[in-house]
Amino acid sequence: MTQYYYIASSHELPTGSFGKNKTVMTIRDYIEKVNPSAKDQIVMQALLEKDPEGDQLMDIYETELDAAGLYVAGPMKSVDASCPFRQPFIYQVDPDGGSFEK
């Protein structure tokens, strides 16, 4: 069974991904400045085969919590009469890079 989460508002809310704390850098900068031993890892070697110069951008997260956020989608266009929300703008909220479970 799938469980969905919603939020309702009296005014429009911004949508998209929120809460992630990331740094964006090139593969080359990551290897040179953050983690020199990464170039010996299989995944990094595969990335460098595709981009030998290391100019591809990648997202870096310091912790698992930094990689988790919320994704807000909506507002929903059609809401039937049985909807329990009393506010006109209804959005679906999903975990982005994590889950709502403990």
Encode pLDDT of 83-94 as tens digits.
888 899 999 999
Residues contacting 14, CB < 8 A, separation 6+: 72
Per residue in 50-70, pLDDT tens? 999 999 999 999 998 899 999
Strands of the chain (E only): list them: 5-9, 16-18, 23-26, 57-60, 69-73, 89-96
User: Residue length, the chain?
Assistant: 102
Q: Is the pTM of this model over 0.85?
A: no
Domain ranges of the chain: 1-19+67-102, 23-60
